Chains A and B, each alone.
Chain A
Amino acid sequence: MNKFVLFAVLFLALLPACQKKGADAAQFTVQDFQNAKWKDVETKAQGTTVSFAMWGGDEARNRFMNTEAAVRLKDKYGITLNILPLGDTAEAVNKLLNEKQANKTGGGSIDMIWINGENFRTAKQANLLWASFAERLPNIRYYEADANKRDFGTLIDGLEAPWQKAQFVLAYDSARFYSPPRNIPALGDWIRNNPGRFTYIAPPDFTGSAFLRHILFHFGGGAKNFQEFDEQLYAEASAKTFAFLNEIKPFLWRKGETYPQSPKELDKLFANAEVDFAYNYGANFASERIKRGEYPPTVRTFVFDAGTISNYNYLTIPFNAANPAGALVVINYLMSPEYQIAQSRALGSVYPHKLDALTAEEKQLVSGLERGAATLSAEELAAHAVPEADSEYLERLEKDWREKVLLP
C-alpha cells in the first residue's frame, strides 16, 4: 500500500516534466504581422508545415486538397499542407475552447480552420481567433466587399477571410415532372396536391434550418429585412412560418410524424424517389451526386424567384496556431484565381470572385469552366442570391420549430 502511494506520488510529480517546451523561437506574433510586409510573411512561411482543419466528408474535395492543392503549395512556397479532417467544425472550436481555458496560448496543433456561421460566432465571442488579418491579404481584392462584412450576421472584423461561395439550391427530377414550384405559396400548393411527396430536413441541421429561413424570408418581406435581429419582425414572420409548416404537415412524407435528420437522409429519400425534392448548399451538389451515381442523370436544380440564400465560407487562424505565418500564406493562396480556377475545374464549385477583378486571361478561364448538367448558370445564381440572416434568427427558429411544429 505504501509502495502504491509512493508510485502514485512519483508519477504525478513527473507528469509536469513531460510538458512540452513553448513554441520554438521562430514564432510569428500578431505584432510581427502588423509590422511585416507581405513579402516578409512569405519568406517566413517558406519551408514550414501548415495544419488545416477542415470538414472531411467529401472524398473529391479531400483528394483535391491532398494532391493538387498540396502540390501547388509545395511548389510555390515550399509549404507542406497537412489536412486534419473533421466530422464537424464544432469539434475544432470545442478543442480551442478547452485549450483557451487551459491557457495553452501557443504551439497549437491547428494552424487554420475552414469555418462559418455559428462556429465563427462562438470562436469570435470566446476570443479563439488569432487576429484581424483578412484585410491585409493581397488576394482579398478578388472578393465582393460584402463577403468580408458579416458572416450570418456576425461582424467579421477581419478575423476570417472569405474562401468559397455556397448557394442554396433545390433539386427535382425532370423525368418526374416538368416545372417545379418557384415560390413558397406555389410550393405549399404543390405539397397539398401531392401528399407524401415532400419533406424537409429537421433543424437544427445546418441545411435543414436554411430551408426554414426561406419561408421566414417570404413571410417577413424578403431577406434584406433580416440582416440584424428584430424581435417584432421575428415574432410576426415566425408565427406565419410555423402556421404554414403546420398547415402542410399532414401532407408531408409520413404525414410529418418524422423528418429526415440530415441532407444525407433527404438525399436517400430523393434518390429512391420517395420524395420529389432535395436541397442543399452548394449550387453543384446535384451534379456531384449524378457524377457519383447517386442521383438519376435527369435531376435538375432550381432556385426560388425571390432568391435563395447565398453565403460565403471562410478561413481563419486559431489564437494558438503554431505557424500563423504559414497559415496566412496558405489562406492567401487558397483565395487566388489560380487556386479557385483549379478547384472549380476539379470539384465543379461555383467561382466565388467578382469577375471585374480578374485579368482578361483569367476571365476567359473562368468562363470556360465546365459546370455539371444540373448546375445553374453563374448569372442565374447571382441574380437569385440573397444574404444570410443574422444567426439569432437561426437559433430562435431552430428552437421554436421544436416547440411549435415538431412536438404539438
Chain B
Amino acid sequence: MFGKTKFSNRETFVLIVLSVAAFVPMLWLALQSAARNWRFPLLFPAEFSGRAWEYLLDSSSGILPALFNSLIIALTVTFISIALAIPAARAVALHDFRGKNFLFFLMLMPILSPSVATAIGGHAFFLRYGLTDSWFGVMLIHLIPTLPYCLLTLASSFARFEVDLETQARTLGASTWQVWRYITLPSLAPAIAVSAVFAFLISWSQYLTTLLIGGGKIMTLPLVLISFQRGTDEAVTAALTLVFLVPAVLFLLISARFWKATK
C-alpha cells in the first residue's frame, strides 16, 4: 500500500503503539459482549455467555434489518455526495465567478454551525415540505453534513489538477467518457476515496438527524446502539458497538487502497 519505502525504527514504534491503542478497546468490547460476572479484580471474565450475540441475531431484535438500512443509506449518501461534490468542487477550484467565495462559504455552513442546530432546524424545514418519515428525507438530511467534507477534499484535489491533460486527450480524439475514465478519474481517485470515507462515516454515525427525520420509522444502527448505550446492559451495548465498528473499518480499509494516486 505504501510502496517499497521502509519504515524507520521510530515510525515502526509509533505504528505499533497506535495499533495497540486501536486494538485493545476492540478486544475489551469483544470480551465484554460475551462476559458474565466480570468484576474487579478479575482480569478476564469468569464466565462467558452468548446472550448478547443471540439477541443481536434474533429476528425480533430488528438489529439485522437496522444494519442493512444503515448500509443502504450510508452507501447511497456516499454516492450522491461524491456525484454532487465533483462538479461543485471543479467549479469552485477551476473557475472564477462573481460571489464564488460567498457560495463556497454557504456550502461549508453546515459544518461550521453546531450539528444539533442543523438537525432541529432541518427537521422544521423538512416538516414543511413533507420530507419527514421517509428514506428520501433521511438521505437528504445526511447529505447536509457529508457534502461539505466531500467538497473540501475534492476542491483541494482539483486545485492541483492539470486541465491541460483533458484538453490534450480531447485533441487526440478521446470521447467525454474516455477523458473522464482515463484522465480525470485516475488523478482524482485518492481524493474521491478520502471523501467517500468522510461521507460514509458521517452518514453511518448520524443519530439525531435520522431520529428526527426518520421519525423512528427508518431504523438504523446508531438508533439501536444509542438506545442501548443509555440503558444498563453492558453486554448488548458492547456487541452492538462491535457490529457498528466493523462496516466502518471495512469501508475505511477498502478505500485506503485508492489513497495513493495511480500514475
Contacts and interface: CB of A to CB of B under 8 A. Distances in A.
Nearest to B95: A1
Nearest to B232: A264
B177 interface: no
Contacts of A57: 227-233
Interface in B38-97: 38-40, 47, 49, 51-52, 55, 58, 60-62, 97
Nearest to A82: B217
B211 interface: yes
B114 interface: no
Interface in B196-226: 207, 211-212, 215-217, 219, 223-224, 226
With a 10 A CB-CB cut-off, give which of A1, A62, A67, A84 has the most chain B CB atoms: A62
A368 interface: no
B227 A20 contact: no
A273 B40 contact: yes
A293 B230 contact: no
A99 B36 contact: no
Contacts of B52: 59
Contact of A86 (B62, B128, B227, B235): B227
A99 B213 CA distance: 11
B43 to A, nearest CB: 13
Contact of A66 (B51, B60, B131): B60
B127 interface: yes
A109 interface: yes
Contacts of A56: 224, 227-228, 231
Contact of A84 (B123, B130, B207, B217): B217
Interface residues of B, number: 48
Given A16-B129, A63-B55, A88-B230, A272 B212 contact: no
Nearest to B38: A293
A59 B236 contact: yes
Nearest to A100: B127
A85 B133 contact: no
A102 B228 contact: no
Contacts of A6: none
A98 B120 contact: yes
Contact of A99 (B49, B127, B219): B127
B232 A86 contact: no
Contacts of A19: 129-130
Contacts of A87: 207, 223, 226-227, 229-230
With a 10 A CB-CB cut-off, give which of A83, A274, A293 has the most chain B CB atoms: A293
A51 B128 contact: no
A59 B232 CA distance: 10
Contacts of B212: 94-95, 98
A53 interface: yes
A291 to B, nearest CB: 10
A311 B216 CA distance: 27
B124 interface: yes
A91 B226 CA distance: 12
A267 interface: yes
A109 B224 contact: no
B12 interface: no
B61 A63 contact: yes
Given A272-B39, A274-B40, A104 B216 contact: no
Given A67-B60, A102-B128, A51 B217 contact: yes
B234 interface: yes
B55 A59 contact: yes
Contacts of B47: 293
A101 interface: yes
Contacts of B230: 55, 57, 87-88, 262
Given A85-B223, A110-B216, A296 B39 contact: yes
With a 10 A CB-CB cut-off, give which of A15, A86, A272, A294 has the most chain B CB atoms: A294
A2 to B, nearest CB: 11
A271 interface: yes
A249 B43 CA distance: 31
Contact of A15 (B120, B129, B211, B217): B129
Contacts of B36: 292-293
B29 interface: no
Interface string A160-175: 0000000000000000
A400 to B, nearest CB: 25
A91 B61 CA distance: 21
B124 A109 contact: no
A55 B230 CA distance: 9
With a 10 A CB-CB cut-off, give which of A56, A94, A271, A273 has the most chain B CB atoms: A56
A62 B61 contact: yes
Contacts of A51: 216-217
A18 interface: yes
Contacts of B229: 57, 87
A63 B38 CA distance: 24
Closest 7 CB pairs between A and B?
A57-B231, A84-B216, A293-B36, A109-B215, A19-B130, A102-B127, A56-B227
Interface of A: 1, 15-16, 18-20, 51, 53, 55-59, 62-63, 66-67, 83-88, 91-92, 94-95, 98-99, 101-102, 104, 108-110, 262-264, 267-268, 271-274, 289, 292-294, 296
15 contacts: A1-B98, A15-B131, A16-B129, A56-B228, A59-B55, A87-B230, A88-B230, A92-B216, A98-B127, A98-B212, A104-B127, A262-B230, A271-B39, A289-B232, A294-B234
Given A87-B223, A294-B37, 13 more contacts: A15-B129, A18-B136, A56-B224, A56-B227, A59-B52, A63-B55, A85-B219, A87-B230, A92-B216, A95-B211, A267-B232, A268-B234, A273-B40
